[in-house]
Amino acid sequence: MNAKRVSAVAGVIYAAQKVRSTATGIATALEAAGLLQSPESAAELVVLRGQGARLEQHLDTAIAGFNASAMRIAELEAQHAAVLALHRKHTDSEHCHADDETWPCNTRTALGRPAPEPSSPWERAVAGLNALVDADVIFHVEPDGHISAPFSDEHIEWDLKAKRWVLTHDGDDDSYEAAADRYLATPYTDDNPRPIPDTEHLAVVAARWNSLYPVGTPVTAYPGCRPEDDPKDERLVTRTRSAASVLGGHTAVVWVEGHGACIKLTHVDARPGGAA
């Protein structure tokens, strides 16, 4: 006789009697407790329960492994995207931006697929700025759109003659003097407004103005707002009455006939050969 099994049955019957169960209720309680099974069935149930517990452990381990793999895949994809962003084609040559190899470079070839192209010009512009961020380049954008970095000799400037943004270097022949020439030699039109020159350009801009436009040059001057800002604001068709100079170290200006105060050079358009 299995004393332990008899004791378990007695316990279930006693508990059922306390709640005044019928014979059917007592039998149901014994079945729920697994005490109506044969010894073989009970032993098999114990084995099955053990297997179920082990399967749950294996499942937990598999889920943990899957999550770790997913995180690693995400890390690798981020690294892959960062390398693709660095190894991109120069906008003005057939070379890689990162290592200057002939495009496509060995790294891009090894990666096997090109970086996805942004779908709009604005997205491409954002991708370009983010490429600087991804490369840990600290940069700032000046009021005239000039993009420069305090610890780099590379700059992005607007080329008025080419009507494109260009990459320049501190040692390039395209110096402040050349930039001033382009600024002053390019007349204002509605489609091509002049940017405000960088502060460091101002003395050169004034000197270039004076070399290009002597006192008495016919000009159109805007004492208040330029026409693109306010078409109804004052407009003077006049001549210069002074050489250009830098006022207070911050603004390149000139004086014109018919107006008492100086006017910013950004608000003066030369009209060589025109009548005042």
Give the pLDDT confidence of 224-240 residue by residue, as tens digits: 888 777 777 888 899 99
Residue 70 within a domain: yes
- pLDDT-based confidence at 82, cuts 50/70/90? confident
What integer pLDDT is reported at residue 54 of this predicted model?
87
What integer pLDDT is reported at residue 77 of this predicted model?
82
Residue 227 within a domain: yes
- pLDDT-based confidence at 32, cuts 50/70/90? low
User: What is the pTM for the complete model shown?
Assistant: 0.34
Domain final residue, candidates 86, 116, 138: 86
Domain final residue, candidates 71, 86, 101: 86
- Range(s) of the domain holding residue 256: 198-270
Domain final residue, candidates 28, 60, 86: 86
Which structure tokens are listed for 81?
């995207």
Residue of 77, 78, 100 lying closest to 88 (CA atoms):
100
Residue 111 within a domain: no
Amino acid making up residue 210: N
Contact by Cβ (8 Å): 275, 216:
no
Contact by Cβ (8 Å): 260, 246:
no
Residue 40 within a domain: yes
Mean of pLDDT over the chain: 75
